[in-house]
Structure 1
Amino acid sequence: MLTREDHKTYAQILREELTPAFGCTEPIALAYCAAKAREVLGQMPTEVIIEASGNIIKNVKSVIVPNTGGMKGIPAAAAAGIVAGDSKACLEVIAKVTPEEQKEIAEYLNNVPFSVKAMEDGDKLDIRVTVKAKENSAVVRVSKHHTDIVYIARNGEVMLNEQDDCECAQKLAESQAAAAEQRADRSRLSIEGIVEYAKTADLSTVSDLLNRQVEYNYNIAQVGVKEDWGANVGSVLLDTYGEDVRTKARAYAAAGSDARMSGCELPVVINSGSGNQGITVSVPVIIYAKEYHKSDEELLRALLVSNLIAIHIKTGIGPLSAFCGAVSAGCAAGCAIAFLLGGGIDEVAHTLVNSIAITSGIICDGAKPSCAAKIASSVDAGILGYEMYRHGQQFYGEDGIVSKGVENTIRNICRIGAEGMNGTDEEIIKIMTHCD
């Protein structure tokens, strides 16, 4: 049984995770880092050097940066942050770029030398931006989380550095330790606890987060269906298979991703640091709620299930991996649909195990239009996992990576995503960067 402290922790996790973002979070993190570097420099840079981890390169290489007039890639993201970014806005750093500033971004890219290098050490999520102008220089580093600045220097003078023994580093370490203590303990999450929380939570503590998620993410999904974005996976699904609820759930989630990957200038509410995962955990559940005329309260409680299950899984995998995040999000959406339609802990647990067993082999090869198709497949697996249980069918322990007990199966998936696929990740990055 959940305690009052558990309820408080679950609500805090949602408040930390369900934040708005404008554009794919990896290029936006790069824009954020570059915007901060320009601010530290105190003038417009005349040279920009970008060092990034393989996973950042992978996730920025092929995605359009919003508010740039259709440009994609690492220099475009950095230029947008330098010319028009507001670091105080965090993951909405380039949300308010004007048409005039878009032109300035293009001109800046044409006139200023940019160099991009792979970072040999550091975290899977790691960015270091060095900017120079005449005799001045500034360096800013973001690591582990999309907006966590761990190093700042100007003209060689270190202002923040978590690894040095200087006084400022000690202060930073102390502040980070305090922040870690304030950060909700995700180890308290469990499938049983999540289902109980969804049934009993005081919605007034999280309804603002969930309602914003419904508004933002369903809005971009509708735009994705109605307009021409990316590979138009959502439209293809609807044209091919019709508009039954299962097809619409897949199609609208895919369409939201296609729009977002192709530079649609609308915000989304993210989950586990990812807008695509935020769309995937929410849009299919919204579609089912509309189809079955569920109340607003029933929808919000179901969204507690999908959001927290996705966070529970991704906590063990990490924000960036060769394991496609759409898988955990799509499976979580299937669990939320099971809950929405009257299911309890048994339906949710079996839905999750069944769906994970189906789609756990999908790889992440960066942010780009094919993410939409992977989302459609993952949502389909989530729904199939639920339908299997409804028909008295399931995958059993010792069937491949499935173990007896949902938490044991989750641990297996986390082990694969966080450790087992490191070699796969390296090969994917080599292929994408043409390194033999």
Structure 2
Amino acid sequence: MQKTSVKYRTYVQILAEELVPAMGCTEPIAIAYGAAKARETLGRLPERVLVQVSGNIIKNAKSVVVPNTGGRKGIEAAAAAGIVAGKAGRELEVIAQMEERDRLDIDAFLREHPVQVEGLEGGLTFDVRVTLWAGEDQVKLRIANYHTNIVYLEKNGEVLHRLPVDGEEENGLADRSLLNVWDIYDFAETVDLADVQEVIGRQITYNMAISQEGLTGNYGANIGKVLRNTYGSEDVVIRAKAAAAAGSDARMGGCELPVVINSGSGNQGITASVPVIVFAEEWGASREKLTRALVLSNLVTIHQKSRIGRLSAYCGAVSAGAGAGAGIAYLDGGSYQDIIHTVVNALAVVSGIICDGAKASCAAKIAAAVDAGILGYHMYQEGQQFYGGDGILSKGVEATLENVGRLGKVGMSGTDREILKIMLKEKA
């Protein structure tokens, strides 16, 4: 791909926009970010707090530990952390720098000023609204469509910031419609490493660090350690699955280490990167080869997710597992044909996994998705594949990705509503 082309520049920009650091599950962290920005605008601690969120935000914030809150879970903890100690300028690392005193202040704030939470009916999939009151002062803030996209900010009736909201469109980001698997492969083969080494290098460092923490600490259901202890660590496939799952174990369990995310998700960022890194270490791949493999894996994941949407009843680990499979195939010298058949085969196996929110079981779903990605590659190596017309598959990788996007965005919208009803019933 020519470095001067529009696609080349767009692909570099997409990686820069998507592969950003975040500490904690990104939906509660988006709430913390919005609350921190609203409190900054208010200029003092509020006396009353209202957080209104769409159903998918409730789903992904309900059961996950918010870092630096002493093990607290949920929307109330995220909002309080952002208000009391958040640094809005750090965006998705908004509550990364906190001390024990801050945790005590969060506890005190929640005792004295309970956070009111309301669900938003209909409307956008990704919608966060924060209203703060202090005396005669009032601040209103809205985040829509992606985690740091503040589209509205008002203080005492004066509009300070407003961006148009055109349905689910992610205005202000690079054009994802320019993504396709052939061009992603070409870009990975030809990209000037200087243009991507910072974002990819940070992903390697951050995501392997939290993976190691998950393998040595005690988080969630410890899926990474269960895999390693049950099946041993001799087989690189088991190590890759365990390492990816362990990163999610730690992240869902409130680990205070950052993750480089993909498509707005730390779990997807871990899944798209850690298995590829483990295989690169096993095979002695050069840093250049690993970097190119991660460019491929990440962009294949983003390409899939751009059709599904950032939040859905379709588990994002499935997309990232297929992306990881593609990256592993590339590391092994796989051709474009190897890569596209790896992706299609993987999606044929695990596209039915639902997203029922961020929590400990995400790590097990990641292990299954990574396994499907690796299986998809080995199938094609053995001359085996699934064909167009088999279930949701169509002839050609792009046609299959279109089908999966339709399934995740449109077909599973009713599933999404039922999942939320079940989750809220259990909470009650």
Place the TM-score, normalised by the shorter chain, in its bin: over 0.9
Q: 1:284 aligns with which of 275, 281, 306?
A: 275
TM-score, scaled relative to structure 1 = 0.94
Q: Structure 2 matches for 1:27-426, cutoff 5 A? A: 27-162=28-163, 180=171, 183-243=173-233, 244-426=235-417
Q: C-alpha deviations, 1:24-61, integer Å up to 9, x for none?
A: 10000000011111112111111111100000000000
Task: Report the CA distance between 1:2 and its aligned residue.
Answer: 5.6
Give yes or no for contact 1:189–1:312 (8 Å, CA) kept in 2. Answer: yes
The answer as to 2:4 corresponding to 1:4 is yes
Give, in whole Å, the separation in 2 of the partners of 1:36 and 1:72: 21
Q: Which amino acid aligns with 1:210?
A: I
Q: Which amino acid aligns with 2:314?
A: F
Give, in whole Å, the separation in 2 of the partners of 1:160 and 1:121: 24
Give, in whole Å, the separation in 2 of the partners of 1:119 and 1:94: 25
Q: Which amino acid aligns with 1:322?
A: A
Q: C-alpha deviations, 1:254-298, integer Å up to 9, x for none?
A: 000010011100001010011110000000000000011111111
Give yes or no for contact 1:2–1:196 (8 Å, CA) kept in 2. Answer: no
Give yes or no for contact 2:80–2:115 (8 Å, CA) kept in 1. Answer: no
List runs of 5+ in structure 2 lacking aligned partners: none
Task: Report the CA distance between 1:306 and its aligned residue.
Answer: 0.4
Give, in whole Å, the separation in 2 of the partners of 1:303 and 1:325: 17
Alignment match, 1:168 = none
Task: Report the CA distance between 1:162 and its aligned residue.
Answer: 3.9
Task: Report the CA distance between 1:133 and its aligned residue.
Answer: 1.5
Give, in whole Å, the separation in 2 of the partners of 1:121 and 1:88: 31
Q: Percent identity?
A: 57
Give, in whole Å, the separation in 1 of the partners of 2:2 and 2:351: 30
Q: C-alpha deviations, 1:202-248, integer Å up to 9, x for none?
A: 11111011011000000100110111111000000011111110001
List runs of 5+ in structure 1 lacking aligned partners: 164-171
Q: C-alpha deviations, 1:330-370, integer Å up to 9, x for none?
A: 11001100010010100000000000000000000000000
Pairwise CA RMSD: 1.7
Give yes or no for contact 2:392–2:403 (8 Å, CA) kept in 1. Answer: yes
Task: Report the CA distance between 1:8 and its aligned residue.
Answer: 1.8
Task: Report the CA distance between 1:159 and its aligned residue.
Answer: 2.5
Task: Report the CA distance between 1:151 and its aligned residue.
Answer: 1.3
Give yes or no for contact 2:3–2:191 (8 Å, CA) kept in 1. Answer: no
Give yes or no for contact 2:45–2:83 (8 Å, CA) kept in 1. Answer: yes
Give yes or no for contact 1:46–1:113 (8 Å, CA) kept in 2. Answer: no
Task: Report the CA distance between 1:3 and its aligned residue.
Answer: 6.5
Give, in whole Å, the separation in 2 of the partners of 1:159 and 1:292: 54
Task: Report the CA distance between 1:180 and its aligned residue.
Answer: 4.5
Give, in whole Å, the separation in 1 of the partners of 2:408 and 2:4: 32
Moved over 6 A (4+): none
Question: How many residue pairs are counted as aligned between the two chains?
Answer: 423
Give yes or no for contact 1:195–1:344 (8 Å, CA) kept in 2. Answer: no
For 1:123, what is the secondary structure of its paired residue?
coil
Alignment match, 1:167 = none
Task: Report the CA distance between 1:4 and its aligned residue.
Answer: 3.2
Task: Report the CA distance between 1:184 and its aligned residue.
Answer: 2.2
Give, in whole Å, the separation in 1 of the partners of 2:122 and 2:369: 32
Give yes or no for contact 1:198–1:301 (8 Å, CA) kept in 2. Answer: yes
